[in-house]
Amino acid sequence: MKNNYDTIARYYDFLSRTIFQRSIINAQVYLLSHIKPNTTVLIVGGGTGWILEKFQPSGLEITYVEISESMLTLSKKRVQYNNVQFVHQSIEEFTSSRQYDIILTPFLFDNFSATNAAVIFEKLHTCLKTGGDWLFADFVDDPKQLWQQIMLKTMYIFFKVFARIEAGKLNDMDGLFSRYQYQKIDERFYYGRFICAAVYRKEL
Ligand SMILES: C[S@@+](CC[C@H](N)C(=O)[O-])C[C@H]1O[C@@H](n2cnc3c(N)ncnc32)[C@H](O)[C@@H]1O
């Protein structure tokens, strides 16, 4: 199976925090500040579920889609202040009869080939209400930053070996958001601008 984080699920947060300290957490906590109470939220690729403990008890209806069974098992043990529906499925297989106010994809799209990223983007686009916000976090591909290029290459080798991820490089996500005419309403950078957290609004 591709993109299989089962074998590294137990060590994932330790690794991520050792390398990036609190940058990955801070980027996503900043995104959460854009979520209003009593709304519906679709989280895809939430990992170990640490993020669920960062939400305030605010009447949210959260759908949590994770392909990794081990990640999902860890997520279910987290304290949840809101109504969370856990879905053990790939986002490719997931179907929804509802549209969401918010979609959160934290470090998800760096897993996919360009072709698959475009297909998944289109699917999530249809799952988001017009006027809704897509909260996006991922790494930045800046060819002028040699240290970032070395880190990216190293991470891709590591995740190819241990999680069999299908991607070998980052996708042009800004290009996809522009193609679907999203408006970027807020953006912040972390870890020497290697990590980006952005809020995109669905206009059409
Ligand atoms: C790089 S990890 C990020 C985890 C978490 N968001 C974080 O920042 O700590 C990517 C996560 O996406 C999940 N994932 C990868 N491909 C997926 C897919 N096709 N559908 C749903 N989840 C997927 C993995 O199982 C993993 O938990």
Please state whether beta strands 100-106 and 182-190 pair in parallel, antiparallel, or not at all (unpaired). Answer: unpaired
Residue 51 lies in a domain: yes
Give yes or no for residue 71 CB within 6 A of ligand 1.
Answer: yes
- Let me know if residue 201 belongs to a domain: no
The average pLDDT across 113-117 equals 97
In three-state form (DSSP H/G/I as H, E/B as E, the rest C), the secondary structure along the chain is: CCCCCHHHHHHHHHHHHHHHCCHHHHHHHHHHCCCCCCCEEEEECCCCCHHHHHCCCCCCEEEEEECCHHHHHHHHCCCCCCEEEEEECCCCCCCCCCCEEEEEEECCHHHCCHHHHHHHHHHHHHHEEEEEEEEEEEECCCCCCHHHHHHHHHHHHHHHHHHCCCCCCCCCHHHHHHHCCEEEEEEEEECCCCEEEEEEEECC
Answer whether 66 contacts ligand 1 (Cβ < 6 A). Answer: yes
Is 56 a residue whose pLDDT tops 90? no
In the reported structure, the alpha carbon of residue 199 is separated from the centroid of ligand 1 by a whole-number distance in angstroms of: 19
Confidence of residue 62 (pLDDT cuts 50, 70, 90): very high
Query: Is residue 95 domain-resident?
Result: yes
Establish if 199 belongs to a structural domain. no
Closest protein CA for atom 14 of ligand 1: 45
pLDDT at 80: 82
- Mean local confidence (pLDDT), 168-182: 97
* Ligand 1 closest atom vs CA 46: 6
- Write the CATH number for 22: 3.40.50.150
Structural domain count, the chain = 1
Q: Is the pLDDT of residue 1 over 80?
A: no
pLDDT one-digit tens code per residue, 182-194: 999 999 999 999 9
Domain that holds residue 177: 6-109+120-194
pLDDT bracket for residue 26 (50, 70, 90): very high
Whole-number mean pLDDT of the chain? Answer: 96
CB atoms within 10 A of CB 39: 17
Q: Is residue 166 part of a domain?
A: yes
Minimal-distance CA residue to ligand 1 atom 9: 47
Cα 139 from Cα 123, distance rounded (Å): 22
* pLDDT confidence tier of residue 142, bands split at 50, 70 and 90: very high
Domain presence at residue 183: yes
The residue-averaged pLDDT of 55-65 equals 94
Does 114 fall in a domain?
A: no
For residue 88, what are its two tokens? 């053990």
Nearest to 172 by CA among 132, 121, 125: 121
Note whether residue 202 is domain-resident.
no
